[in-house]
Structure 1
Amino acid sequence: MKIKIIEAGNVFLTRDKIEKRWRAFYKMLRQGKGLKSFDGIEIAEKHVMHDAHRVITRRTLKLHEAIRAASPLKTEELIKLGRIAGGVDAMTVTADRADEIAAAVHEEFGWLAPATQYVWHALRRAAEDGTPVRVPPVILVGPPGIGKSVWARFVAHQIGLPAVDIDASKGAVGFSINGTERGWSTAQPGRPVEMIISSRIANPLIIVDEICKSVSMTSEKGRRMSLEDALLSLLEPATAAAWDCPFYRVSFDMSHISWILTANTTDGIPAPLLSRCRVINLPPPTRGQTIVFACTMSGRRGLSDDAARAVIDAVKYADRSFSMRDIIKIVEHAHAIDDTTPYLLH
């Protein structure tokens, strides 16, 4: 499915396109008005097209130079945008494929079933409506280390969507999402826009981690940008459909993006942001689920039977609960020493 993604006015008008428009204009004018002169100079009918050619050439060059002078874009930027000016692809799924994706995700992340069900329903709706895949904005709230971000990346992989990870705790999250205005050395487009341009896909999946830890930043021009400032216009389909990029200064259709935000708690998340997203509270995995995950990861990492048994026993008989992040670290440690001291974890 092809989707028009940018509205750039006359930015992409080439000299050939401008000249073609002028020729069509003069032809219609002469045929409709019985035109016998240009610029007040009477000329014979046989000389009309010759004089029109000179006028068209002169005005084409002048208009093209004016358009290029008015555009803030560099040649390489015009080339990048020109590649998507005719539209980009949008990923779609069938109902059967939606079911297969949900089953695969649930098998891998059974403890995140509420989140998986939410995505499954979104995929089903898209399949039934014949529209591009879009997961409505969602905030996954749960303890650290339970696999929220890994789950989101796995979902994107299963669907076939390009994905972007943005860490909200690093401070410049607002500018990472929206981009910054040109005119300064730090000017750059936002990462969602860059992903659309580079992948030529209209509906990437954007993952924003740790939104409960985000802070506001101020640009060199004194522009304040918080996570809330950056996201609000992008989460509303109506405003996202004609979103003005501060770097490229053209309008992008960002309404097809899937937004998955993660947090450890809803404390500190602005109310307007909460109101625009579905909030899904995720409990920590059970001991049984962590054991299954340890077994899966050990097999995937190719651990020997002894090393895998050591990992599983460490998780099974520990006097504390392990997060999924902890288990991945244990498996990686076991893999590193598997060939030399396979029983170290006992």
Structure 2
Amino acid sequence: MPRIPITEPIFPDAALSESAIKDRLSHHALRLKARKTGLIIPDYLAAEDELDHLQLHIALSRDMRQRIARRAACIAARVDRRSPLSRLKREDRERFEALRNGVDLVALPSEHRADEIAAELHAEFPWMGQATEAIWHGLRRSVQSGEAGLRLPPMLLDGPPGIGKSRWARRLAGLIGVPDLIFEATTENASFGLVGSQRGWGNAVPGRLVNLILTRLVANPVVVVDEVEKAGEARSHQGRTFSLTDALLPLLEPLSARRWSCPYFEVAFDMGWVIWVLTCNDGRRLPEPLLSRCPPIRLESPSRDNLVVFAQREGTRRRLSDASIDAVCTAISWAALQGHRPDLRAVVRMLDRAEGLERKPPLQ
């Protein structure tokens, strides 16, 4: 798995740290003193061995050591001030150190693996065939492109509530082998929760997107924005608005995403690898700029047979008894005969209920 830099060059060179500068200045002072005293330094010694050899025969005065320490601290401070990290608090800088050596970039080994992922998704979610077909072609194109990692265009899944759009996206992340993030636009409808807020605000924090990168150290996670059409906006006392859909636009545009500026850390991140899956129940309520970046994929509700097959597969995965699985399937069929079509959420709740009953301790 390759590692790539996820931010602009912001980390000071390790060779310019205070301790490294102090060592080099001390080495230079020892060499000068050795030359004055006539000490012979063998040519075959490496730099580290040479330093040990000098320290064994020569000692610097206390005044010289203090001068070297002050000079090293001064140079290191100047180098540090040039880094954007100098604006951050100590705890934020410590978190950023995790990114010094880059982050992992997940890739698919072959087009055959893309076919396997698509087949698995279709077997579990046959009613979401259009979304699965789109992701199948995207996976194959990414492998064919020869890029270092998996890159997919953003998707917008438009369909009735409760058909498993978010569940499909999480399953996609699991099959690819990347972390996932579910962002509920109904409860976190402003942009702050996802992208963060600028430092200087009383409650300024980094967004969940950057936190995910800092925590999991993967460049291409799957980020699901659920029910994006219900996102609202926050308005400051100065009249500025902070809309979730507006904040998404630069992240969904490939060129701007590769140098996306985090409002909290004020550092440019390469978010061009993030796999975006947006879901909505009514795409007509979304602004045109968002729709132009994510053409909606219209999905339909699962049929009764789809729900029965899902219940059988999920029940088997949970190791439920045959009696429990049959009871759930019977409930689905009975509801359909009564003119009611349960959605996927209702089926999952029935499976949860059956699992809870089976795991319940026996009464004495």
TM-score > 0.5 by shorter chain: yes
TM-fit CA distance, 1:84:
1.0
Q: Deviations over 1:28-65 (max 9, x none)?
A: xxxxxxxxxxxxxxxxxxxxxx9xx8996475155146
Letter aligned with residue 80 of structure 1: R
**Partner of residue 12, structure 1:** 12
- Output the CA distance in 2 between the equivalents of 1:268 and 1:332: 33
Identical pairs, percent: 38
Aligned residue pairs total 312
Q: 2:98 corresponds to which letter in structure 1?
A: R
Superposition pairs for residues 258-337 of structure 1, below 5 Å?
Answer: 258-318=275-335, 319=338, 320-337=340-357
Partner in structure 1 of residue 125 of structure 2: 109
Structure 1 stretch 233-242 or stretch 289-298: which is displaced more? 289-298
Tell me: CA distance 1:297–1:16, structure 2 relative to 1, closer, same or farther (3 Å). same
Aligned to 2:213: 196
Whole-angstrom CA distance in 2 between matches of 1:221 and 1:14 = 43
Structure 1: which amino acid aligns with 2:301? P
Match in the other structure for 2:98: 83
| Alignment check: 8 A CA contact 2:85 2:93 kept | no
Q: Aligned letter for 1:200?
A: L
- CA deviations over 1:234-262 (Å, ceiling 9, x no partner): 11111111111111111111111110000
Q: Distance in 2 between matches of 1:68 and 1:139?
A: 38
* 1:60 counterpart (75, 78, 87): 75
User: What is the CA-CA distance between 1:12 and the residue it aligns to?
Assistant: 3.0
The aligned amino acid for 2:4 is: I
Per-residue Cα deviation, 1:201-247 (whole angstroms, up to 9, x for no partner): 11111000011111001357764211222101111111111111111
Task: Please give the alpha-carbon distance, in whole angstroms, between the structure 2 residues aligned to 1:336 and 1:17.
Answer: 57
Matched, 1:147 2:164: yes
The 8 Å contact of residues 12 and 82 in structure 1, kept in 2 or not, is answered as no
3-state SS of paired residue (1:262) = strand
Kindly provide the CA deviation profile for residues 283-312 of structure 1, in whole angstroms up to 9, marking residues without a partner as x. 111121111112222222333222222211
What is the 5 A alignment of 1:182-261?
A: 182-218=199-235, 223-261=240-278
Cα distance, 1:73 vs. partner?
0.6
Counterparts of 1:210 and 1:77 in 2: how far apart (Å)?
A: 31
Taking structure 1 as reference, are residues 57 and 295 closer, same or farther at Cα in structure 2, changes over 3 Å only? closer
**Secondary structure, counterpart of 1:165 in structure 2:** strand
Q: Given the two structures, how large is their TM-score scaled by the length of structure 2?
A: 0.78
C-alpha distance in 2 between matches for 1:72 and 1:240: 23
CA distance in 2, matches of 1:54, 1:197: 34
Q: Give the structure 1 partner of residue 116 of structure 2.
A: 100
Residue identity in the other structure for 2:158: V
Letter in 1 for 2:131: A
Name the amino acid aligned to 2:8.
Answer: E
Amino acid at match of 1:201: V
Between stretches 117-126 and 60-69, larger displacement belongs to 60-69
Aligned-pair CA distance for 1:69: 10
2:315–2:351: 8 Å Cα contact kept in structure 1?
yes
**Alignment partner, residue 174 of structure 1:** 191
Whether contact under 8 Å (2:249, 2:290) holds in the other structure is yes
Partner-residue secondary structure (3-state), 1:140: strand
Which residue of 2 is the match for residue 31 of structure 1?
Answer: none
Report the alpha carbon displacement of residue 334 of structure 1 after superposing the two structures with TM.
2.4
The DSSP-based 3-state class of the residue aligned with 1:217 is strand
What are the ranges of 5 or more consecutive residues in structure 2 without an aligned counterpart? 25-63
What's the CA shift for 1:317?
2.5
Other-structure match for 1:36: none
- Paired residue secondary structure (1:166): strand
**1:286 and 1:100 mapped to 2: Cα distance?**
24
Q: What's the offset of the Cα at 1:181?
A: 1.0
8 A Cα contact 1:180 1:190, kept in partner: yes
Q: Name 2:36's counterpart in structure 1.
A: none
SS for the counterpart of 1:259 is strand
SS at match of 1:103: helix
Say which is worse superposed, 190-199 or 53-62, in terms of deviation. 53-62
Instruction: Give runs of aligned pairs for residues 35-46 of structure 1, distance below 5 A.
Output: none
Q: What is the deviation of 1:66? A: 4.0
1:98, distance to aligned residue in structure 2 (A): 1.1
RMSD: 2.8
Alignment partner, residue 61 of structure 2: none
- TM-score, scaled relative to structure 1: 0.82
Corresponding residue to 1:129 among 135, 145, 156: 145
